[in-house]
Amino acid sequence: MMRKKFTLVVVLFSLLLGSCSIEEDEPNFYFTSLPINSAELPEAFSLNQTYQINVTYSLPDGCTQYEGFDVTQEDTTVRNVVAVGVAMTDLVSCTQVVTEEEASFNFIVKYNQPYTFRFYQGENNEGEPEFLEVVVPVN
């Protein structure tokens, strides 16, 4: 009986090892920053309120899809906003047409100081990031 269990365990272990190949499992996508063309924010915020921030961004081709936003806090009231895309690398053909799309995220006002939003717009000729900056006061 013990020999049968041992044989079964060896067979199962061999099947598991034989069916997985790390070398063949290369990623078929990568994350990329999408340029933000414009953003809609209110003229002023109120403390402890939640606001929907609408953003227009560009998709560079038919192989790239919108994934979400990466909003990071650079300082107490400074936020860097990047639209994140997923570019598929295993698609045979992709359109090369740039398209504009819209998405939004919710923002909660926690401080009574003006907020500065820095929306990523891409890189300049020197490879440095460029931002659309919008300052919104808090009433």
DSSP code at position 63: T
Q: Residue 34 and residue 121: Cα distance in Å, rounded?
A: 8
Question: In this predicted model, what pLDDT tens digit does every residue of 33-53 receive, in sequence order?
Answer: 999 999 999 999 999 999 999
Residue 102 placed within a domain:
yes
At 49, give phi and psi (nearest 5°). -105, 155
Residue 32 placed within a domain:
yes
Residue 82 placed within a domain:
yes
Residue 1 placed within a domain:
no
At 24, give phi and psi (nearest 5°). -85, -10
SS3 18: helix
Residue among 126, 60, 41 at smallest CA distance from 98: 60
Residue 19 placed within a domain:
no
SS3 content of the chain, % helix, strand, coil (to 5): 15, 55, 30
Residue 67 placed within a domain:
yes
* Per-position pLDDT tens, the chain of length 139: 544 444 444 444 444 444 444 456 788 999 999 999 999 999 999 999 999 999 999 999 999 999 999 999 999 999 999 999 999 988 778 899 999 999 999 999 999 999 999 999 999 999 999 999 999 999 9
At 23, give phi and psi (nearest 5°). -60, -30
Residue among 39, 42, 40 at smallest CA distance from 139: 42
The answer to whether the CB of 43 falls within 8 A of the CB of 102 is no
Q: What is the pLDDT of residue 1?
A: 52
* Containing structural domain, residue 122: 25-136
The overall pTM is greater than 0.85: no
Residue 40 placed within a domain:
yes
Number of domains in the chain: 1
Distance of CA 36 to the CA centre of its chain: 12
Residue 52 placed within a domain:
yes
